[in-house]
Chains A and B, each alone.
Chain A
């Protein structure tokens, strides 16, 4: 299986993991009938047949060959073989590779369906209560099927996104064979062994397959993912190595040049950001205008406050003066009531009282004006 995986890696690099039917016509033999060729004589034993030059890509294979049969017929023949053998037959030619890839992908889907069917059948027979289930005769069957389900999920997560993107097929045919073996064993045995014994081989080979795939094949496939076109094309003409001598030229180039998809995404983001910035600028200018108006209002209010403070100051001064005058008037009034000199002081007193009254009137007028 390791050798097959290594070959897969080579094929992935050469673009053998996808489409491309080079060199083999499809549906040969069923539409154009040629007279059957005479039976070929096998070479005498011990003789060495010198290898003839390889067929060009546009040359059709002879009619009497396996790969010249219709795809339906080839699939029918290969359906009798194990998936491990099918995965190795991919190396024969591109047409066989296409047929085998299809069969491997279908094989994985079929084994998933078979597992679902088995699990459904076992669950239908198990009691609902957990305590009763543990002691049931089908408990081990259920455990084994649950473990297989886990393995299938892991395999699905590892391989199927690349299979769905048509970058590769489900490569490890041996894993499909092993899953089938376990499922048939569970179906046919009344008292299976413990889950870890039954599944040891499946766990080992599926883990190895997934690990190898992730480490060796996925990096090659990721270059073929949509969006890596630009970096893939440009990798054909690397620039002169720059100052970072530690990196290879390819790595440096790919780091400096983002893919087309990333550029488009960035442009969209820039546009969105630009629109957002414009909105923000408008809001900022509006806020600035408001702030200026409010500052002006504050200034006006400060001014008014100042003026009113001054007025209050003046009024306080006047009040103080008036109080002083009133006091004097009161004192003089007291003084005049007690002795002579009353007559000399009364015009002065009357004058002061008049002044005090005038001042009171003025301050009253000022108050009213304000």
Chain B
């Protein structure tokens, strides 16, 4: 369990999970200083999440997902692109944290950035997002496969 100290409650309420804890479970009472347990998020990742949510605190809520609308990976805002220039392990940790805390905006932008890397792997297989050629993505120890090479006799 990690203590969240000095965080703006309003920012924390962007995290729907925490919002539910605060409002629906009666943890929002004045004078109630009990810490909110977040066992699935470590401190470093939580710090990054707070940083992102602080920057986006005045954003309008995103529109409802239209499943028929074409989804693009090249429309990530510049600030978010800089924010997501982290190692791939941290990217995944951010995805897991956004999923747990139910922060739709952060989840979408992190998934979009990973998807753009997967798309780019076609042209640059050495990045090894899915195939696991070096790096921390994919399976270590599996023979380099490459998502776009279909050699026979490949073990999976």
* A→B interface (CB under 8 Å): 3-4, 6-7, 10, 16, 23, 29-31, 33, 35-37, 39-40, 42-43, 49, 51-55, 61-62, 64-70, 72-73, 76-81, 85, 88-89, 91-94, 96-97, 110, 114, 117, 180, 183-184
> For the complex, is B23 an interface residue (Cβ under 8 Å from A)?
no
Q: B131 near A92 (CB under 8 angstroms)?
A: yes
- A97 CB contacts on chain B under 8 angstroms: 156
Majority secondary structure of chain A interface residues (helix, strand, loop or mixed):
loop
Contact partner of B40 among A3, A30, A36, A65, CB < 8 A?
A30
* Complex A-B: 16 CB contacts under 8 Å: A7-B150, A30-B96, A33-B39, A33-B40, A39-B90, A42-B134, A43-B134, A53-B141, A55-B142, A66-B129, A66-B137, A68-B92, A79-B115, A80-B71, A93-B142, A110-B67
- State whether A91 and B93 are in contact (beta carbons under 8 Å apart), knowing that A36-B42, A54-B141 are contacts in the complex: no
Closest 8 CB pairs of A and B: A39-B87, A80-B115, A64-B89, A40-B136, A52-B141, A76-B111, A43-B134, A77-B111
Q: A89 near B136 (CB under 8 angstroms)?
A: no
Per the bound structure, the CA–CA distance linking A89 and B115 in Å amounts to 12
- Chain B residue with the shortest CB-CB distance to A110: B67
Per the bound structure, the CA–CA distance linking A306 and B79 in Å amounts to 125
> For the complex, is B118 an interface residue (Cβ under 8 Å from A)?
yes
Contact partner of A66 among B87, B119, B138, CB < 8 A?
B138
Q: B141 near A66 (CB under 8 angstroms)?
A: no
Q: B134 near A65 (CB under 8 angstroms)?
A: no
Provide the B109-123 mask, 1 if CB < 8 A to any CB of A, else 0: 001101110110010
Majority secondary structure of chain B interface residues (helix, strand, loop or mixed):
loop
Q: A42 near B135 (CB under 8 angstroms)?
A: yes
> For the complex, is B125 an interface residue (Cβ under 8 Å from A)?
no
Per the bound structure, the CA–CA distance linking A138 and B58 in Å amounts to 43
How many A-B pairs fall under 8 Å by CB?
151
- State whether A33 and B42 are in contact (beta carbons under 8 Å apart), knowing that A92-B130, A110-B68 are contacts in the complex: yes
**Interface size in chain B (residues, C-beta < 8 A):** 57
Contact partner of A54 among B119, B135, B147, B155, CB < 8 A?
B155
- State whether A66 and B140 are in contact (beta carbons under 8 Å apart), knowing that A79-B71, A91-B145, A91-B154 are contacts in the complex: no
Say how far A179's CB is from chain B's closest CB, in angstroms: 11
Q: B147 near A49 (CB under 8 angstroms)?
A: no
Q: B144 near A64 (CB under 8 angstroms)?
A: no
Per the bound structure, the CA–CA distance linking A3 and B150 in Å amounts to 7
> For the complex, is B27 an interface residue (Cβ under 8 Å from A)?
no
Q: B130 near A66 (CB under 8 angstroms)?
A: yes
- Chain B residue with the shortest CB-CB distance to A11: B156
Contact partner of B130 among A16, A73, A89, CB < 8 A?
A89
Q: B42 near A61 (CB under 8 angstroms)?
A: no
Instruction: List 20 other contacts, CB 8 Å, given A40-B134, A53-B141, A69-B95.
Output: A3-B150, A29-B92, A36-B45, A40-B87, A40-B89, A52-B141, A55-B141, A55-B142, A62-B139, A62-B140, A64-B136, A65-B139, A66-B137, A76-B108, A76-B111, A79-B71, A80-B72, A80-B112, A88-B147, A97-B156
- Chain A residue with the shortest CB-CB distance to B68: A114
- B84 CB contacts on chain A under 8 angstroms: none
Q: A70 near B96 (CB under 8 angstroms)?
A: yes
- Chain B residue with the shortest CB-CB distance to A111: B68
Per the bound structure, the CA–CA distance linking A84 and B96 in Å amounts to 26
Q: A72 near B138 (CB under 8 angstroms)?
A: no
Per the bound structure, the CA–CA distance linking A184 and B66 in Å amounts to 13
- State whether A36 and B71 are in contact (beta carbons under 8 Å apart), knowing that A62-B140, A91-B150 are contacts in the complex: no
Interface centre among A85, A180, A184 (most CB of B within 10 A): A85
- A49 CB contacts on chain B under 8 angstroms: 133-134
Q: A65 near B111 (CB under 8 angstroms)?
A: no
Q: A65 near B42 (CB under 8 angstroms)?
A: no
Provide the B76-106 mask, 1 if CB < 8 A to any CB of A, else 0: 0000000000111110110110011000000
Q: A70 near B89 (CB under 8 angstroms)?
A: no
- A35 CB contacts on chain B under 8 angstroms: 42
